Amino acid sequence: MSFDLETAAAPQGLRRVAIDPVSRVEGHGKVTILLDAQNRVHQVRLHIVEFRGFEKFIEGRPYWEVPVVVQRLCGICPVSHLLAASKAMDRVLGVDAVTRSAESIRRLMHYGQVMQSHALHFFHLSSPDLLFGFDSEVNRRNIVGVAEARPDLAKKGVLLRKFGQEVIRATAGKRIHGTGSVPGGVNKHVARADCNALRRDVSQMLEWAQDAINVVKLLHAQNPALYDAFGSFRSNMLSLVRADGALDLYDGTLRARDAAGAILVDGADAQRYLDLIEEEVRPWTYMKFPYLRSLGREAGWYRVGPLARVQNCDFIPSPLAEAERQEFAAGGRGAPVHATLAYHWARMIELLHTVEVIGRLLDDPAILDGDLTAGGARRGEGVGIIEAPRGTLIHHYRVGSDDLVTMCNLIVSTTHNNQAMNEAVRSVAREYLDGRELSEGLLNHIEVAIRAYDPCLSCATHALGRMPLDVALLGPGGELLDRLLKSHTGEVLRTMDAPVGLPG
């Protein structure tokens, strides 16, 4: 059985619109929409057109090399992959708990990563849409437009992100290609000078993170009808939580709630994630569809990421963010918030939380001194799960007695959110596209829904000269009827020259 609007009942004779690739989304994504002669929507699909094969790239490598190599999966959150792989390799080495210093330094690194990623997402990817409106002039919907209209906001975004990267540099050794986290622990303490320099900026970062939440709350308050309804749909939610139910981005057990907020699964051991989650392959996309085994494919799909995390936990273990969580939750009037645009609000609550945690960890003497690594009895297998900026990230490895990786399975946040992103796109298509003439502004509504999840397709290839947006209108026989290209400079060009060749 198919989901509503996933597959048209009678696709013959329908027109197809393709948005390829989705702008501001890493990697190659494409949306295709099948319309009839009256522009009624019959089918909407978010496709992933690149097959990464990263697991095969890892297999055959020595285990100690993996935490460094997996950072090349993603140019935006390499530290999340570094730490998920390190945690999995801890288990391979028989290390069930790293030393206190290693745990604090890794946490500091991770919260720095989440902080800088959230700052980038809100201030530079989403705020142009939110501040200027989804139908605004295309050339204004970017960070340069934000910088011109709200220079204070743009500058805070840049400096928040810079601070997060300095935390990464102080803990991982370098801004990129960091080696600070290794199987079994970490390989260096934080330098006292770095610690002192970072500590000086914490109060300023807290103030700016609070400002960011206020901007999001103001946007919601100004247009609650839009923010509550846009791309909204009900779903289960999945994330790690700490043993006491607190939000924890670095470690914990898996918890899932249903759409009404009731707990479906709690305390699930990360090492046994395969008992909980199954992945389905569908023929029209390379990205799999995970779901909770106990509920099956149609009822078991779920959302991950900030919206899931701030509602899955019982509380946030830092006072400012907890107060914000309570205010956010009150908006649901006793039920979970399912609005797609609420991801931005939840993300900014997490941004504030990460700064609070960073401030606390910078005062922890264990980051300056103490044992760095632990040992144990070697196992052949390990799973590392972490809450990456976009959601739950799973790394699973088997390692042979020759130290080489024999099996690698990665489930990244974007894969967990695959069904949810498709549901969001279909919700928007029903609301805004059905029966109407297409325009760039309307098509941007689709992209806004996708960007709320911040899908990261992790190819990190970005050769110069790519076209950011390709909209093709095809006839019933697949013939090209019309095509718009948005150039590197934002200029929109109508052309029938370049080949399209998009699979259905």
Partner 1 sequence: MTAPLLVFAWGNASRGDDALGPLFIERLRTAIDADLAVRVEFLEDYQLQVEHALDLVGRARVLFVDASASCAAPFEVLPLHAARDASFTTHAVSPQAVLHVFRDLQHAEPPPCTLLAIRGGSFDLGSPPSARALANLSAALVWAHRWLAAP
| Between 378 and 488, CB nearer to partner 1 | 488
| Between 1 and 193, CB nearer to partner 1 | 193
We find the least distance from the C-beta atom of residue 41 to partner 1, in angstroms, to be 25
| Between 331 and 468, CB nearer to partner 1 | 468
Whole-angstrom distance, CA of residue 161 vs CA of residue 176: 14
We find the least distance from the C-beta atom of residue 496 to partner 1, in angstroms, to be 20
Residue appearing with tokens 């297998």? 381
We find the least distance from the C-beta atom of residue 126 to partner 1, in angstroms, to be 11
Smallest CA-to-CA distance from 142 within 444, 455, 494, 462 is with 444
DSSP per position, 46-108: EEE-----HHHHHTTSBGGGHHHHGGGG-SS-HHHHHHHHHHHHHHHTT-SS--HHHHHHHHH
Q: Torsions phi, psi of 382, nearest 5?
A: -160, 150
| Between 5 and 22, CB nearer to partner 1 | 22
Tokens of 208: 């700016």
We find the least distance from the C-beta atom of residue 69 to partner 1, in angstroms, to be 7
We find the least distance from the C-beta atom of residue 154 to partner 1, in angstroms, to be 6
Tally of CB atoms within 10 A around 336 = 21
We find the least distance from the C-beta atom of residue 136 to partner 1, in angstroms, to be 12
Beta strands in 183-339 (DSSP E): 185-186, 236-241, 253-257, 263-268, 277-280, 289-292, 302-303
Pairing between β-strand 391-399 and β-strand 381-388 as defined by DSSP bridges: antiparallel
Secondary structure letter of residue 35 according to DSSP: E
Interacting residue ranges for partner 1, rule: CB under 8 A = 21, 23-27, 52-54, 56-57, 69, 72, 74-76, 78, 120, 124-125, 138-139, 141-145, 147-148, 151, 154-155, 157-158, 161-162, 165, 175-176, 456, 459-466, 468-469, 486-490
Tokens of 487: 């150039």
We find the least distance from the C-beta atom of residue 462 to partner 1, in angstroms, to be 5
We find the least distance from the C-beta atom of residue 79 to partner 1, in angstroms, to be 12
Residue appearing with tokens 């701030």? 310
* CA atoms within a 13 Å half-sphere pointing along the CA-CB vector of 490: 10
Q: Which helix or strand (DSSP H or E) is residue 14 part of? A: none
Tally of CB atoms within 10 A around 187 = 14
| Between 147 and 368, CB nearer to partner 1 | 147
Q: Which helix or strand (DSSP H or E) is residue 486 part of? A: strand 480-486
Q: What is the largest CA-CA distance in the chain?
A: 70
We find the least distance from the C-beta atom of residue 489 to partner 1, in angstroms, to be 5
| Between 99 and 165, CB nearer to partner 1 | 165
| Between 176 and 330, CB nearer to partner 1 | 176
| Between 162 and 378, CB nearer to partner 1 | 162
Tokens of 449: 């829904």
| Between 275 and 491, CB nearer to partner 1 | 491
Q: Torsions phi, psi of 21, nearest 5?
A: -85, 170
Q: Which helix or strand (DSSP H or E) is residue 480 part of? A: strand 480-486
